[in-house]
Every structure is written in C-alpha cells, then in structure tokens.
Amino acid sequence: MTPGPDALLQMYAGMLRVRLFEERVRELFAGGRIPGFLHTSVGQEGVAVGVCAALRPDDYLLSTHRGHGHLVAKGGALRGLMAELYGKANGICHGKGGSMHIADASVGYLGANGVLAAGCVLAPGVGLSIKHRRSGQVVVTLFGDGAANRGPFHEGVNLAALWKLPVVFVCENNRWASTTANALSAAGGSIAKRAAGYGIPGDAVDGNDVLAVQDAVARAAARARAGEGPSLVEAHTIRWVGHFEGDPQTYRSKDEVAEGRRTDPIARLDRMLREMTLLDDAHARRIRDGVVAEIADAVAHAEASPLPQPHEALTDLFAFYPWRD
Amino acid sequence: MPVMDFADALNLALREEMRRDPRVYCVGEDIGLGVPFGVTRGLIDEFGPERVLNAPISEAAIVGSAMGAAMTGLIPVVDMHFADFVTCAMDEVANQIAKSRYMFGGQVDCPLVLRMPYGIGRSGGGHHSNSVEAWFVNIPGLKVCIPSTPADARGLLKTAIRDPDPVLLFEHRGLYRVTGEVSEAETLVPLGAAAVKRSGRDATIIATARMLGESLEAARRLAEEGVDVEVVDPRSLVPLDRETLAASVRRTHRVVIAEEGPMRGSTGAWLAWVVMEECFDDLDAPIARVAGPNIPIPFSPPLEKFATPDADQVVAAVRQVLKGAA
C-alpha cells in the first residue's frame, strides 16, 4: 500500500527529526555535555523511519548500539532520551543506561543493545508472548551487517522460522562492521540471501529510500501478523559519520561519505514531495523549525535536569529484594 | 506425607505452577520426552506443545527468547539440559537477563527461571559435570538458589516461578533420584531462607546441594565419636540468609563450609567472608573449607573420585576446626 500524503510528510519530518537530533547530539558530545561512547546514525535515517512507518504504535522494536534514531522514529519522547544521554536522574532509564542501553517501554522500544545481534534471540521470545496474547503485534529486531555474522542471528532466525513467530529481522547494512569492511567480514555477498537457508523471505532494499524500506517491512509485518512467520529485510545504507564519535575513519575513503550525501534519504524524499507539490520552501521551513524547537526543548530540559544522587546506583536492580546483600 | 524423588518433586512444582498461571511455560532441549533427567516428563501431555516448547539445540535462542517473553508478559522456565551449556548463552544470562531491569531504570521486569542441572558424577567428564553456581553469584541482577532435598526443590522452584526477577535454580544431577518427604499441600520455600538441617553444639557445617548429604553423613559419623555438629543449608545464595548462618555460628563458634565446585573464587569463599563479617569475634578457630580441586572435572572414575569432595573430607575439616577445643 502506497503511503498517502500525510504519511509521506510524516516520514519526511521523521527523518529530519532523527537527522537533526543526531547532529545536535554530536555537537553536545564534542562539547563535553554528553559522557560515554556515542554511535550516531547520521545518513541512516531512511531505515529507522521506514521501519517504524510500517509498524503499529504498539509493535515492539529491539535495537542496536546505534539506536537513537530508532527510538526517535518509534516515537520516544525526546526529553527523556536526551536527559538519558546526559546521564541525568530523569532520563528515561534514570541515567543507568546511556546511549547504548536505552529502552522506552512506553513506545515498545525494548532496548538498544551494547552486544551485537543480541536482539536477534530476544525477538523470538517477544514473538512467543505476542502469539500467546493473540495481540496481532509484531516485533522488529534491527542489527547491523557485522552482527549478522554472530551466532545469535542464526539461532534467532532459525527459531523464529521454525515456530512461525511474528518477527521481522531488519539488517541495517551500512557496509562497515566497526572498522572492517562488510566484504572482509561476511561470506556469501548478501545477508538477505541467508534467509533462503531458513525458508523465509529475504528482501534486499535501498535503505536510503525510505519508501522502499517501509514497503518491505510492511509486507514482512503483514506476513508476520497473518501467522506466516518471520522475514528478513536487508536495507543498504551509508553511515556518514564514524563508527563512534571521534573515529578518525582512516579505513574508508571520503568518496563513500560523498556517495552518502548524494543518496541522502531526506533530500530524496524532499525532491519527491516537491514534485508531488506536497512540499514547498515555506512548508519545509515550518517542518524544520518545529523539529529544531522540539530538539532545543529536549536539550534545555536535559541541561536543567539534576544528576542522579550517587546512591541511586543501588536501585532498580531487582523488582523485589528486601534482603540485606 | 508422600515420598518422592527430587526430579518428581520438581515435576510436581512445574505442574502446580503451570496449572495456576497460564503465563508459565517450559522451554528447553528434549523437554518433551523429559530427557535426560525426567524432570519435565509428561508435561507435554497435560499442557501441550504450546506450553512445553521442545527447542532446537540453540542455547542462546532458548535463553534469549525467554528474556524476550519475560519482558512482555510470560513466565518462562528454561531447562538448561546441562548447566555447563549455559556458556553458549552467557551473553543472554550475564549481559541481557541480569542487566535489563537495571539498565532500563526499572522499566521492565524479567520474571524467568533457569533450571540448571549441574554437578559431578558418573564420569560425565569436562563438559557435563561442573558446579558453576559461583559464576552467577558474581553477576548482580540474578537470584541463585540451590536445593538439597525434594521438598526444598519443589518449594524453591515454585517460589522462583512466582518471583518477579530472574532466578537460577541449581539442581544437582546426583540428587535427582534421591527421595524425601514432600508435603501434599502446596508448600513454598522462600528465597533467602536458610534451613538448619541438623542441630548441634560443637561446630557448624554450611553446605549446599550434594554436599549437604555428605555433611549429614559426616555429622552422623562424628556423632559416633561424641562430636555434635550442626548442618545448615543456605538454600539460596542470592539472596543469602545471613542471620540464620550467623546465629548458628554464634552457637557453635566453629565453621566448615562445604561445596562441590572448585576452591578458587567460589561461593564457599563468599560465605566464609560473610561469616567473618557477621561474627568474626564469635569464631574460636579459622574457618575450614571443603571444595573441589582447581581442575576441570576428569573422566576416568578414579580421577573423577579425586575431584569429588565427600563426607571423609568434611569429617577431616570438622576435626581441623575442633583442634584445641576443650
């Protein structure tokens, strides 16, 4: 089903939200406002927004170490997310998660993950619970091309296929497993083709075409909801920035980033919307201003928020633990 | 009171909890047939294949999916087949299950049980015999219990299933055929509640699982010599019932800690620290420990026997702490 004008404009705004959020976060990190390790998804917005545009609000998402964009696209409140990146007490995880371990259960975002492909084995269990509750939800687990070489990817896909669970496996192929090229880490030349070994659909799409991602994931989700089991979608995209903030990127040529900018998913949809006369300069400006204001509000909120009290490190470990340790 | 073996007591607990709560399901390799230890035997007939999930040999997916299910409303009981195989799902246990609630600031609960058949015996060899409970005691975010009798096994498993947090239940495979009285009424054993299994005046033996039986045997032999030993079973290691252990030590002033796993970096070492912290001034002798040697478990019977702590060693340790006693 082709998205209507409103849905297209929402995707446009959604990608801009991810892009500007990530760019602001990069600045804040460089300025020393955000501690820790930071992996941003600048350039990969088409995947995050395309996936979430294909989902219901109550569907689940399992994410990666490069997960801010996924949460923004899933509808997570920017204030709680930004405060968490700052390590503030009122961050969505009270400062215990940070960039790589954020969850926002209120929007079905069951966690970024510091361990690659970890979500691939969590997802079948979420699928089991969906099946048990007959809720018609699906769970999407995102992972990178590097993670597709870990055992949990294979175990998770096999189990989900075997038990026909409502899972969509989305490989966000940005060509690099940290600093190692995909060609030097993945055999077979295609992650999508691995689906054939498990008897499930495997689609490779242009991840910088948000509509192609949305379409592939929507088909996979429909199949999952119909009880026909999981699918694998490989979305090819380009990371414009380093693996982590501060990465000197000596391992790749500048041409690749230039290629990324040429295939910018936001510019692409921008052109399409203008051709369809759904967008003009004034409208685009209004959308951008709205996103900028929302991000500024999140930053102001995070800046003004208190740091946690040190002893709060002892809370949230167990739901029930009245004992002395 | 009915008498049943340890495996049947666990089977009973699973049936009772699965009848009580439709969210509870079992998952693991070969659990449909109840292979290899019979704990899940017959469950599939009563509850069907949708609640008794016979899984492929995919430990990471079995354990990881249990967490995914637990975070979204189910209560999985995972059969680890042999606890040794948990290494194939160590990320899922140590990084995911143990940390999710904490890292996410308490947004999600993870109510699941990992049943861990473990322990030495019958020439299981290096990949089927290890006592690995210490690994998990060292991971914040997990609860760890380790029963020694059929009644405790049933009661702890029931409590573990009802607990809102992840619980590992260590089931010594040498105990599965040991019989004992199990109450007809539903009886829960709380976590963090040690049990005095034998009262005595002269020394306290703190022992878990198979070593509890060895310690009771040691106590019987020592009684023939007029030495009256108390035997305490912590039953759960996390949380730990410090008060019951300390109260016993304050009565006897001498302590032996007996476990099966290797001596180094072990739960017994932790318990020794707890005893010292709670009641150092009450001790009349240095704490003695019985534990396995720091080697993998060997295959050949005489080698395996060498690696197996037993009642003889407990007797010797008690004599050691009693040296110089009036």
**Domain of A113, in residue numbers:** 5-314
Average pLDDT over residues A55-78: 98
Q: Are A254 and A57 in contact (CB under 8 A)?
A: no
For chain B, give the mean pLDDT: 97
CA distances from A28 to A92, A302, B227 (A): 18, 11, 70
Token pair listed for B219: 């106590």
Residue B33 at interface with chain A, using a CB cutoff of 8 Å = no
Q: Put the strands of the sheet holding A60-62 in their side by side order.
A: A60-62, A139-144, A167-173, A231-236, A202-206
Are B64 and A94 an interchain contact pair (Cβ–Cβ within 8 Å)? no
> Which residues 196-235 on chain B approach chain A with CB closer than 8 angstroms?
none
Which chain A residues are closer than 8 Å to B73 by Cβ?
A: 129, 132-133
Are B104 and A115 an interchain contact pair (Cβ–Cβ within 8 Å)? no
Are B68 and A91 an interchain contact pair (Cβ–Cβ within 8 Å)? no
**CB nearest B102 (choices: A60, A96, A115):** A96
**CB nearest B140 (choices: A155, A317, A324):** A317
Enter the pTM of the model: 0.97
Q: Are B211 and B314 in contact (CB under 8 A)?
A: yes
**Position A1 pLDDT exceeds 70:** no
Q: What is the pLDDT of residue A2?
A: 82
Average pLDDT over residues A249-273: 96
Residue A325 lies in a domain: no
**Position A207 pLDDT exceeds 70:** yes
Are B70 and A125 an interchain contact pair (Cβ–Cβ within 8 Å)? yes
Encoded amino acid at B218, one letter:
A
Residue A321 lies in a domain: no
Residue B239 at interface with chain A, using a CB cutoff of 8 Å = yes
Beta strands in chain B, from DSSP E residues, in sequence order: 3-5, 24-28, 52-54, 75-79, 113-118, 143-145, 167-172, 179-181, 195-198, 203-207, 229-233, 236-238, 255-262, 288-292
Residue A36 lies in a domain: yes
Specify the DSSP class assigned to residue A182: G
pLDDT tens for residues B106-136? 999 999 999 999 999 999 999 999 999 999 9
With a pLDDT cut of 70, the percent of chain A lying above it is: 100
- Top residue of B86, B103, B241 to mutate, by most chain A CBs within 10 Å, is B103
The number of folded domains in chain A is 1
Q: What chain B residue is nearest to A124 in terms of C-alpha separation?
A: B65
**CB nearest B65 (choices: A93, A95, A121):** A121
ipTM greater than cut 0.85: yes
**Position B267 pLDDT exceeds 70:** yes
Average pLDDT over residues A34-41: 96
Q: Put the strands of the sheet holding B195-198 in their side by side order.
A: B195-198, B229-233, B203-207, B255-262, B288-292
CA A323 to chain B, closest CA, distance in angstroms equals 6
Write down the H helix ranges in B193-288: 210-224, 242-252, 267-279
Distance, in Å, from the CA atom of B318 to the CA atom of B326, rounded to the nearest integer, reads: 14
Distance, in Å, from the CA atom of A78 to the CA atom of A69, rounded to the nearest integer, reads: 11
Class of domain B3-181: alpha beta
Q: What is the CATH number of the domain that holds A286?
A: 3.40.50.970
Are B240 and A323 an interchain contact pair (Cβ–Cβ within 8 Å)? yes
Residue A301 lies in a domain: yes
Average pLDDT over residues B9-37: 97
Residue A279 lies in a domain: yes
Are A122 and B60 an interchain contact pair (Cβ–Cβ within 8 Å)? no
Active site residues of B: 128
Residue A169 lies in a domain: yes
For chain A, give the mean pLDDT: 97
Which chain B residues are closer than 8 Å to A321 by Cβ?
A: 165, 239
pLDDT tens for residues B206-252? 999 999 999 999 999 999 999 999 999 999 999 999 999 999 999 99
Class of domain B195-322: alpha beta
- Name which of A161, A167, A214 is nearest A59 in CA terms: A167
Which chain A residues are closer than 8 Å to B103 by Cβ?
A: 93, 96-97, 101, 103, 111
Residue B92 at interface with chain A, using a CB cutoff of 8 Å = yes
In this prediction, residue A234 has a pLDDT band, given cuts at 50, 70 and 90, of very high
- Name which of A250, A242, A300 is nearest A86 in CA terms: A300
Residue A323 lies in a domain: no
- Top residue of B97, B107, B274 to mutate, by most chain A CBs within 10 Å, is B107
Residue A74 lies in a domain: yes
Distance, in Å, from the CA atom of B171 to the CA atom of B7, rounded to the nearest integer, reads: 9
Average pLDDT over residues A42-68: 98
Q: What is the pLDDT of residue A149?
A: 97
Virtual torsion, Cα B247, B249, B253, B258, nearest 10 deg: 170
In this prediction, residue B305 has a pLDDT band, given cuts at 50, 70 and 90, of very high
Encoded amino acid at A306, one letter:
P
Q: What is the pLDDT of residue B324?
A: 79
Residues 6+ apart with CB under 8 A from A219: A201, A203, A231
Are A115 and B91 an interchain contact pair (Cβ–Cβ within 8 Å)? yes
CB atoms within 10 A of CB B85: 18
Domain boundaries, chain B: 3-181, 195-322
Question: Using N-to-C axis directions, what is the helix angle for A265-275 and A5-30, rounded to 10°?
Answer: 150
